[in-house]
Amino acid sequence: MPPRSPAARGALPPEGARSALGRPSGLTLMWLKFAWQNTLRNRRRSLVTVSIAALGTAGILLAGGFALFTYQSLAEAAARQSGHLVLGQPAQFTSEEDTPLQHGLENVAALRERLLADPQVRSVLPRVEFSGLISNGDKSVVMMGLGVEPDSEFSVKGPFLSMRAGDVLASGVAEPEIMMGDALARNLKAQPGSSLTLLASTSDGALNALDVRVKGVFSTGVPEVDKRLVYADIATAQKLLNSQKVSTVGVFLTRMEQTQPAQARMAAANPTLTVQTWEDQAFFYKSVRDLYNRIFGALGAIIGLIVVFVVTNAMSMAIIERTREIGTLRAMGTLPQQLLTTLSLEGMVLGGVGALSGAAISLGVSVFLYLVPVEMPPPPGSTKGYPLSISIEPTMYLATIAAMVALTMLASAWVARKTVNMPVVQALAHT
């Protein structure tokens, strides 16, 4: 049986197809067909190339999805803690107070009414920040206190605290009550029902003491915070500090995406106040985001380079094996640009199939983790773990697949450029 020609084996387009391929209307499908047939000539090599591209794509998508999940979780926690927007006097955010509530807000009721008139505002929560000592009579410990409106605070924010004992604060209680971190409670040997004393400087510079009862013990999951944090009713905090001011006002919106437009509107409506976003308050979020961007950015670049080198190696072997075929087609009148196109499309097919397979793997792992939760160990500085989740972001999937296809096409074109421009006689004599 006589040997088949390169065109008959599907290596490169036959003479009749070449004339049709010169027209834009027949270019894409015909070149893709021949590129696909060429990748099947050495199936083992193509399978290895596609597998590495798939694993690389899956690795990038899983790492990116984990980073995105971390960003979203930290952003939600930060917004839940402070509010999507925080309003206060300019000096409240730029300078230290000489006395408590020196830079506090007055006429909060009127400000709150104006803010609630915005249809995108879900709730407005005033807060009083104070510090001092908390004592059980025998021992005194430094505390960091927050005065809040209990009914609104704990209903709007959701489960941001883990209660260890007792109950959350409630409004309308005659006797002043507090909630305290579990490490602080252990330090003072306190439990729900225990009587303690708060000591702090007032807004007049005097020292004030207030007897309170422990209503509940909680944990934030951060030991250093649980050693100091105390929640009190806002009226209790104002009584302790001898002032009717509040430190800041937190604004909770219906959706996170409304933060920037709402900030612009409220800043224009309240020119004497500073309006910060949750991100301005979330220093931990910024640090983690910058760190993860560098780590996963470097990881993605390394994986991309590995995929490019693998595709380059595979295409180099294929082109070396087909140098005489390329010379034959050049002698028959095929243009170097046409040959470069089909060889580039071979790289695109390998990269595209690998990228799509990797995206399917990543999607399957993400769905599996959603259906079968896997608990992660506590991060540094925390005592509470969290369920592992991989975010599925369509934009990230499309961008990663497109990047993989583009890189493999460019790698194939770069490898093929010398061979397709080789003199015909030299290509035909290649062994």
- Report CA-CA distances (Å) from 209 to 140, 171, 238: 12, 21, 12
CA distance 137 to 327: 96
Tell me the torsion sign for CA atoms 145, 148, 150, 156.
negative
Position 334: which residue type? T
For 225-256, give one letter per residue: b (16+ CB within 10 A) or e: bbbbbbbbbbbbbbbbbbbebbbbbbbbbeee
Q: Tell me which residue of 1, 18, 33, 7 sits closest to 328, measured CA to CA.
A: 7
What is the residue whose two structure tokens read 């009226």? 235
pLDDT, position 425: 77
Q: Where are the alpha helices (DSSP H) in 332-393?
A: 336-371
How far is C-alpha 25 from the chain's CA centre? 43
Report how far apart, in Å, the C-alpha atoms of 333 and of each of 7, 33, 326 are: 14, 20, 11
Distance, CA of 428 to CA of 323 (rounded, Å) = 7
DSSP 380: T
Query: Is 359 strand, coil or helix?
Result: helix
Residues of the chain with pLDDT under 50: 1-25
Give 284-291's long-range contacts (Cβ < 8 A, gap of 24+). 284/74, 284/78, 285/71, 285/74, 285/75, 285/78, 288/70, 288/71, 288/74, 289/71, 289/74
Q: Are 278 and 85 in contact (CB under 8 A)?
A: yes
CB 192 within 8 A of CB 217: yes
- Beta-bridged to residue 387, according to DSSP, are 375
- In DSSP terms, 112 is beta-bridged to none
Q: Dihedral sign, CA of 258, 259, 260, 262?
A: positive
Q: How far apart are the first and last CA of the chain?
A: 23
Q: Which residue type sits at 359?
A: A
Contact call for residues 111 and 105 (beta carbons, < 8 A): yes
Q: Are strands 140-148 and 229-233 parallel, antiparallel or unpaired?
A: parallel
Cβ–Cβ < 8 Å for 122, 316: no
Q: What is the pLDDT of residue 11?
A: 46
Q: What is the DSSP letter of 306?
A: H
For residue 241, give both structure tokens: 């500090």
Length of the chain: 431
- Decide: helix, strand or coil at residue 47: helix
